[in-house]
Structure 1
Amino acid sequence: MSKANKTLASALRLADRGLPVFPCAASKRPTCPHGFKDASRDPSAVRALWRDYPGPLIGVPTGETTGLFVLDVDSAKHDTAADWLERYAPYLPDTRAHRSRSGGVHFLFRHRRGLRNSQAKLALGVDTRGDGGSILWWPAAIDQGHHRAPLAELPEWLVKALTPPPPPTKTDVQRPRTPEAARAKVAGIVGAVAAANEGERNSLAYWGACRLAELVTQGVIGPGDAIALAVEAARQAGLSPNESQRTVASAFRGQQ
């Protein structure tokens, strides 16, 4: 059987199991015009996709459509991703996992409503795929990974880390009335971030940086001091220097 026929046969088997599929090129890009939106479970539609837009790889949508949420750890290309996985692997439940061709790994979980895609939010080289996303189904191309395990629920600490903090309330953005009050507010924000528990460090670091950025706009603290305090608090919480700087920079950009 030719490689093209093997790919189509694998795509049809996935469709028979209820997973919508679409063709992708060796470059990993969809070959069909609308990407994952063209994915189908219907055998006739699948055959038509591979006839009209042939590709050697199989894409599968994530999110509500398939009930899949994927943690994509590119540990082979990014040391930060390898460090993240080493740190958090003990806290990940046993779940289905696919090795990628580059040497990374896809951890597959049951999708949690409201979670979309993220890029480097957890660490550089650690992305997620939820609503509006898709993955390559590597077991159809390479025989590696933990294919047989059932899908686990997404851990709450990971949900929390990926959930944006709530918008500030009016109380949050009130300007402190005295220098003492300003110092106390800054110290409270920095202390809350530095004391973050494992699993909430990224979200609290982002929250704290946003609060300090607001104080900058109010003239309470200078931008250089605010950024330095935010980065140091994130590092004290346990984030790496790169993670700390990236999270703080993202928060300050969002306040501009």
Structure 2
Amino acid sequence: MDSNIIHETDEIGRILNVSLDRPVHLMVDYALNYAAMGIPVFPVHGVRAYQGGYICDCRQGVDCKSAGKHPVTRNGHKDASTDPVVISRWWAKPPISNIGIPTGSSSKLFVLDVDGPTGEEALEDLHAYYRARQGDHFDCGTETLQSTTGRGRHLYFNYREDRPFHGSASEIGSGLDIRADGNYVVAPPSLHRSGRRYSLVGASTPVLDPPDWLMYEILQRETGIFGHTEQPLRRSIGCNRGEAIMDGTRNIDLFKYGCGLVNSHPPDEVARRITEINAGQCVPPKDEKELGRS
């Protein structure tokens, strides 16, 4: 794929910006637009109206636990294509499928999936931590192309094949998932089971390179540094030294500290240590319910 198509223009946002008034039957046109930009796509089950809400259009219907999000094709994201003939055939007949995009090396895109309020809080904690340490050099990364989801948002970034990595779920923070090699995302203007469409935020926004702090978080996880000892985590050092952990970074400090213990300590011991640090070092301490969510 020509990197100039995506990496140096606003072509994705310009072509695919979605209005809720656009007819759903044009979904194939959106799929073909992605393909024309070198982004492979594949069909994902859509949703249909049912008793005042929406359910999956697959055979499981109301019992489907992944409504509007799981692949139609046998091999899922591995079947993704840029061939207009194949794509037109996939979207030729009802029910109208949602659009899936494989992340990682095949699309040259990866996604930070921010899942609702929990993800937003974790992301803000990360921002606060790195902003305090990088000052004017801090780049939050939110200037890149984004789309709304059912209750959160997707942040799209350029994926570099010389720094490959796989996806992860809540490893850099609660409610923050990375979609990369081996993963996919549901793309605009697909219909979420909530009845809301996945929609791009800003038609002229380009896809940018990820900020350094995000790659640092991802690659430490990918290389297995986290979880092997108590003190490879730069944020857990403050916990170990007895330093104060201030509001704004408490969630991420405690989360990373716990990650450094899980492989070498039983769960009860991990919980005990985190509770002690919360009571003795967090300013102010998190309440028990809030601590449990961290």
Provide the TM-score with structure 1 as the length reference: 0.67
Identity %: 26
- Aligned partners of 1:14, 1:66: CA distance in 2, in Å? 10
Higher helix share: 1
Counterpart pick for 2:141 among 92, 99, 105: 92
- Aligned partners of 2:289, 2:210: CA distance in 1, in Å? 26
Which structure would you say has the larger Rg? 1
Q: Helix, strand or coil for the counterpart of 1:166?
A: coil
Is 2:118 the partner of 1:80?
Answer: yes
Is 2:63 the partner of 1:13?
Answer: no
Query: Cα 1:2–1:80, aligned 2, differ >3 Å: closer, same or farther?
Result: closer
Query: Cα 1:73–1:152, aligned 2, differ >3 Å: closer, same or farther?
Result: same
Q: Helix, strand or coil for the counterpart of 2:171?
A: strand
Is 2:277 the partner of 1:228?
Answer: no
Q: Does the Cα contact within 8 Å between 2:125 and 2:252 map onto a contact in 1?
A: no
1:208 is aligned to: 260
Query: Cα 1:146–1:89, aligned 2, differ >3 Å: closer, same or farther?
Result: farther
Kindly provide the CA deviation profile for residues 107-157 of structure 1, in whole angstroms up to 9, marking residues without a partner as x. 011125332111122333321200001111124664441343222222222
Counterpart pick for 2:83 among 24, 39, 42: 42
2:186 is aligned to: 136
Deviation at 1:39, TM superposition (A): 0.7
Q: Helix, strand or coil for the counterpart of 2:172?
A: strand
CA RMSD of aligned residues (A): 4.0
Counterpart pick for 1:3 among 21, 24, 27: 24
- Aligned partners of 1:69, 1:193: CA distance in 2, in Å? 37
State the structure with bigger RCO (CA 8 A, min sep 6), 1 or 2.
Answer: 2
- Aligned partners of 1:193, 1:16: CA distance in 2, in Å? 55
Is 2:153 the partner of 1:105?
Answer: yes
Query: Cα 1:196–1:49, aligned 2, differ >3 Å: closer, same or farther?
Result: farther
Q: Does the Cα contact within 8 Å between 1:15 and 1:41 map onto a contact in 2?
A: yes
Query: Cα 1:48–1:139, aligned 2, differ >3 Å: closer, same or farther?
Result: closer
- Aligned partners of 1:73, 1:158: CA distance in 2, in Å? 13
Q: Does the Cα contact within 8 Å between 2:227 and 2:259 map onto a contact in 1?
A: no
1:191 is aligned to: 240
Deviation at 1:161, TM superposition (A): 2.5
* Amino acid in the other structure paired with 2:159: H
Bigger Cα displacement from structure 2, 30-39 vs 231-240: 231-240
- Aligned partners of 2:93, 2:36: CA distance in 1, in Å? 20
Deviation at 1:237, TM superposition (A): 7.3
- Aligned partners of 1:74, 1:128: CA distance in 2, in Å? 11
Q: Helix, strand or coil for the counterpart of 1:209?
A: coil
Counterpart pick for 2:212 among 118, 135, 156: 156
Deviation at 1:196, TM superposition (A): 8.7
Query: Cα 1:34–1:237, aligned 2, differ >3 Å: closer, same or farther?
Result: farther
- Aligned partners of 1:168, 1:136: CA distance in 2, in Å? 31
Query: Cα 1:13–1:140, aligned 2, differ >3 Å: closer, same or farther?
Result: farther
Q: Does the Cα contact within 8 Å between 1:193 and 1:237 map onto a contact in 2?
A: no
Q: Does the Cα contact within 8 Å between 1:24 and 1:59 map onto a contact in 2?
A: yes
* Amino acid in the other structure paired with 2:106: T
